[in-house]
Chains A and B, each alone.
Chain A
Amino acid sequence: MANSIKVLNDKCVGCGQCAGACPFGAISMVERPEHPKKFKLVVIDLNKCTYCGTCFQTCKFNSIEIKKDAPQAGVDKSEYKGVWVYAEQRHGEIAGVVYELLNEGKRLSKQLGTTLSAVLIGDNIKSKVQDLISRGADKVYVCDDPVFIEFQDDTYTSILTQLIKKEKPEIILMGATNIGRSFASRVAARIHTGLTADCTSLEIDLGTRNLQQTRPAFGGNIMATILTTGHRPQMCTVRHKVFKEAKVEEGQKGEIVDYKIDVATLVNRTKFLGFIEDESSSVNIGDADIIVAGGRGLGKSEGFKLLKDLAELLGGAVGASRAAVDSEWIPYSHQIGQTGKTVAPKVYIACGISGQIQHTVGMNSSDIIIAINKDASCPMMQTATYALEGDLYEIIPNIIREIKSIRCN
């Protein structure tokens, strides 16, 4: 049997709600030959339809019928227990996102009545184990060997899939970093399970123990909740700063499993030749609590000097929209948005940024958004917590002076 979807034309009133709701643009409305002026007919383009069921949920007249194949029989899910966090490290340092995943992982593991484990892969990294335990890990699997000194997809995938096959966790959370996105994709493909990228919310359905993974789709205009129903483990990646960091609790105890590594079993077709540090990316906008960002409205590269002054005064970092980067006013490492970085600082100051979706998806979970713009009608000004209308070259120097004068008093 194949999946099918059809419109029951005797029930359909041609209201068009489904066409507006379809996230894939698969539904169009055409005129009915028998009622040229009256009702319109719903036509579903099966090449675009993913059988997601949004139209079915939207239709008030029960005029859409969807038949889906039962999901492929996957694995015996009852064998899979426990929540894992991949404790990504680079050059011996644990990635910030790992502490956030431990916090979220702890919450999920409590709901499921199971344990939280961290998986640490690297060379000479045992000193980091206690750090993971004090942040909530009940158990830490350590894969410590000189072969893991640098991240390589081949060796890391070999070891993690070995561990997954042996221990059978039901959920694995990984950071959506450059390493995590590449690594998780390869692991999920090897063990043949579902992987959901860039989740912004995770919930458990206790009946099925399914993880409800919500992520932005189509540039953040629509949210989709994704399930991996028939396969285990359920894997997902989460960007830095989406969840709150786990607090350190001294005196926590946890189990340490020193996983025995047989180097001969590791596939290795790539060679690590070296690392070249990028000096200009010393300001990591992903970690900043305050970001001062500039866009096309700056008009010239000198504008970033002003933004930098304000950022330094506030102890923050400088960000930019794609328009500013494309104009070569500032390097790409500062770009925020769909094709740049995602940030969620306490305060985001958008200077001369109109607020195109491509930019806002990278910053709209900031706590406070301040917009400075001449055009009060642009989307950024419409949605900002504080919208300052006027010339940024007049307003920002005044802000700088005012902050300095407050601090002097």
Chain B
Amino acid sequence: MNIIVCIKQVPNTTNVQIDHETGRLKRDGLESIINPFDEYAIEEGVRIKERVGGKVTVITMGPPQAEAVLREAIAKGADEGVLLSDRAFGGADTLATSYALSTAVRFLGKFDIVICGKQASDGDTAQVGPGIAEMLDIPHVAYVKKVESVDDKTIKVERMMEDGYDLIESSLPVLLTVVKEINNPRVASLKGKMVAKKAVIKVLDAAAIGADVKKTGLNGSPTQVMKIFTPPQRTGGEKFTGEPNKVAVALVKRLSDLSLI
């Protein structure tokens, strides 16, 4: 079974600080990490491989430094890493990103399952996974919380919905986007880290995968950023301190004045 996992390098924003003067993220020293949702995608790919045999290839698109996240994925059980790196990929929106990644997946040869995290923590769009599936002309199931069974031809998965979950069967090849409920990603083993250190990362540019540069990067993006601005900040309101009883009474009075109670 050939399993492809598409991952993204994102800024680590778990402990991000805001510059209160400008209201922007403080980017100094912001390290890059694997998109948190992609950790579950890598783990699920490795688990499927452990269940039915095969190979897990991780792909990312980004600057040369993005190689680091591929090595991390290898340390956690993936077999190969492929980096798509080319100026021509820069400034891509979700459609152009889907095009580049799907072209690369096709270029790599036969594949059975493509796995993505449900969305990236920096863009939050959840559009690239289904976009890749469409361009590969394969079905997709989004928000997968469990892979129930998988064989050569079909896969049965649970799709998380707001009110419960749907049980879906799909033919292979298929693309899945996974949610955090699906598994608990393993920590890289020492042996895995050694393997990752020595691994040879395949670096491919647009020409290598046969991508049409009119469809990649900024040129291939139907959407354009018109402007970027800082949202108005919420300013603080009324403060209540002192005896818990008095504080509570004062609050309830405000709420009942506003007819909220």
Contact = CB atoms under 8 A, between A and B. Distances in A.
A252 interface: no
Contact of B131 (A51, A185, A216): A185
A231 B223 CA distance: 9
Given A49-B90, A154-B139, A227 B16 contact: no
Contact of A347 (B23, B237, B255): B255
A274 B252 CA distance: 46
Contacts of B64: 47
B237 A384 contact: yes
Contacts of B225: 50, 52-53, 224-226
Given A197-B125, A222-B228, A395-B248, A189 B98 contact: yes
B131 A189 contact: yes
A230 B236 contact: no
A57 B251 CA distance: 44
Prevailing SS type, chain A contact patch: mixed
A195 B94 CA distance: 8
B203 interface: no
B134 A190 contact: yes
A69 B247 contact: no
B99 to A, nearest CB: 9
Contact of B236 (A3, A364, A383): A383
Chain A, interface size category, equals 35 or more
A20 B129 contact: no
A281 B19 CA distance: 37
B166 interface: yes
Interface residues of B, number: 103
A273 B247 CA distance: 54
B236 A46 contact: no
Contacts of A189: 95, 98, 130-131, 134-135
A192 B166 contact: no
Interface in B111-143: 121-131, 133-135, 138-143
B169 A271 contact: yes
A269 B127 contact: no
B249 A402 contact: yes
Contacts of A382: 236
B162 A177 contact: yes
A155 B86 CA distance: 36
A398 interface: yes
Q: Which of B88, B127, B214, B245 has the most CB of A within 10 A?
A: B127
Contacts of B167: 272-276
Contact of B164 (A57, A217, A276, A339): A276
A402 B230 CA distance: 40
Nearest to A275: B166
B170 A269 contact: yes
Contacts of B93: 194
Interface in A1-37: 2-3, 20-21, 23, 25
A48 B91 CA distance: 8
Interface string A66-82: 00110110100000000
Contacts, number: 305
Contact of B251 (A20, A220, A386): A386
A389 B164 contact: no
Contact of B121 (A178, A223, A338, A346): A338
Contacts of B85: 47
A370 B133 contact: no
B11 to A, nearest CB: 7
A383 B234 contact: yes
Contacts of B214: 72
A286 interface: yes
B156 interface: yes
A231 B220 CA distance: 11
Contacts of B219: 3, 69, 72
Nearest to B239: A387
5 contacts: A50-B90, A72-B220, A197-B127, A223-B229, A406-B261
Interface of A: 2-3, 20-21, 23, 25, 45-54, 57, 68-69, 71-72, 74, 90-91, 150, 152-154, 157, 177-179, 181-182, 184-186, 188-190, 192-198, 212, 216-231, 269-278, 281, 284, 286, 290, 314, 332, 338-339, 346-347, 357-358, 364, 368-370, 376, 381-391, 394-396, 398-399, 401-403, 406-407
